[in-house]
Amino acid sequence: MKPSVFITRKLPEEIVAPLKEKFTVRMWDSEDVAVTHAVLREEITQVDALWTMLSDTIDRDMLESATNLKVISNLAVGYNNIDTEAANEMGIIVTNTPDVLTETTADLAFGLLLATARRFNTAEKELRQGGWLSWTPMGFTGMDVHGTTVGIIGMGRIGEAVARRAKGFNMDVLYHNRSRKPETEEEYGVAFAELDDLLQRADHVVILAPFTEETKGMIGGRELGLMKKTATLISVSRGCIVDEVALYDALKNKKIFGAGLDVFETEPVPVRHPLLTLPNVTAVPHIGSASVKTRLTMMKLNVDAITDVLEGREPANRVV
């Protein structure tokens, strides 16, 4: 009997075809609607491989019923949606899709920085709604990006890519990281700073840290209070790193100039989310890696990982 694979979202046929040539493949029938918990729970009890999305929660309880499961391949760099400790205990391999989305996500982060600082969303909304009646001396004015200071929280591959883009805008780059990176400092001309110092000095703060117990809620009311009133906060890693209640207060009361958000504590975002009511928020729906080329490349990594495990080889990009 062929090993079996379940894919939790409808994906392009040309991507899935190589798996179908070798394995029994079942796939959720919607691209836009997430697989139901009931279907996922049933499938995980039967299959040898599970191809998951970041929106799928694979917890210990679910893994305990996965008697045949050998590999979970997650379509993302992050994998906090999977209980990796439980998977490791049960001998289930977990893989992700790093590296290939670095530049695409850095493009999004820097684009969101520009859009937030220069108030693109407000200006476009007024234009579309007929609110642009005349040129005015201070109409739609925002904050400069060129020649300012950017503070990057989390200097991994994406952080380094954002730093390269910042240098093209003649920006000074500060960074805060779990560990100092002298080679990065030398190569890109960036300077290490403790978190409080970075928040006080930066004109634009970009959050790129991974989500861990240490980073959960690391940007709260106290931290936002350290920032300049003219500063922007750009969040493109994981929503739970920023306390959204504190961020709403800081934006509503103009303690900071604006925020650019690609990620939220709860995704998809609930209807009438408070942050989305504020004019100084620029928001997009978790599209950091969303270029056609990058997403297809990520999927190819998932296909390779599943194939390698089911054919007895060690997969690339193994996280446990």
The bridge status of strand 172-176 relative to strand 191-192 is parallel
Give, in degrees to the nearest 5, the angle at Cα 7 between 42 and 100. 145
Within-domain flag for 204:
yes
CATH of the domain at 75: 3.40.50.720
Task: Report the alpha-carbon distance of residue 151 to residue 296 in Å, rounded.
Answer: 31
Within-domain flag for 157:
yes
**Are residue 238 and residue 298 in the same domain, yes or no?**
no
Instruction: Indicate which residue of 238, 244, 273, 295 is catalytic.
Output: 238
pLDDT in tens, 139-174: 999 999 999 999 999 999 999 999 999 999 999 999
**Are residue 82 and residue 106 in the same domain, yes or no?**
no
Q: Would residue 146 show up in a list of annotated catalytic residues for this protein? A: no
**Are residue 122 and residue 139 in the same domain, yes or no?**
yes
pLDDT in tens, 87-134: 999 999 999 999 999 999 999 999 999 999 999 999 999 999 999 999
Task: Report the alpha-carbon distance of residue 239 to residue 226 in Å, rounded.
Answer: 20
68, amino acid identity: N
The 8-class DSSP code of residue 218 comes to -
Residues of the domain holding 150: 102-283
Between the CA atoms of 169, 276, 207 and 187, what dihedral angle is there, to the nearest 10 degrees? -20
Give, in degrees to the nearest 5, the angle at Cα 260 between 206 and 205. 20
Q: What is the pTM of this model?
A: 0.94
State how many domains the chain has. Answer: 2
Residue with tokens 């062929």: 2
DSSP, residue by residue, 147-191: TSEEEEE--SHHHHHHHHHHHHTT-EEEEE-SS--HHHHHHHT-E
Task: Report the alpha-carbon distance of residue 304 to residue 307 in Å, rounded.
Answer: 5
Within-domain flag for 260:
yes
Which tokens is 88 given? 């490791």
Instruction: Indicate which residue of 201, 204, 273, 286 is catalytic.
Output: 286
Which tokens is 61 given? 């309880």
Instruction: Indicate which residue of 64, 89, 124, 267 is catalytic.
Output: 267
Confidence at residue 309, expressed as pLDDT on a 0 to 100 scale: 98
Q: Would residue 126 show up in a list of annotated catalytic residues for this protein? A: no
**Are residue 65 and residue 126 in the same domain, yes or no?**
no
- Residue 236: pLDDT band (50, 70, 90) is very high
Task: Report the alpha-carbon distance of residue 194 to residue 57 in Å, rounded.
Answer: 34
Within-domain flag for 238:
yes
Positions of E strands within 185-319: 191-192, 204-207, 232-235, 258-261, 281-283
Within-domain flag for 316:
no
- Residue 45: pLDDT band (50, 70, 90) is very high
Task: Report the alpha-carbon distance of residue 305 to residue 311 in Å, rounded.
Answer: 10
Which tokens is 258 given? 């604006």
- Residue 11: pLDDT band (50, 70, 90) is very high
Which phi and psi angles does 109 have, rounded to 5°? -60, -45
Give whole-number Cα distances, 92 to 50, 60, 309, in Å.
10, 12, 10
Give whole-number Cα distances, 126 to 89, 133, 137, in Å.
55, 9, 16
Q: Would residue 176 show up in a list of annotated catalytic residues for this protein? A: no
**Are residue 194 and residue 47 in the same domain, yes or no?**
no
pLDDT in tens, 248-279: 999 999 999 999 999 999 999 998 999 999 99
**Are residue 141 and residue 52 in the same domain, yes or no?**
no
Of 238, 147, 219, 145, nearest to 176 (Cα)?
219
**Are residue 93 and residue 174 in the same domain, yes or no?**
no
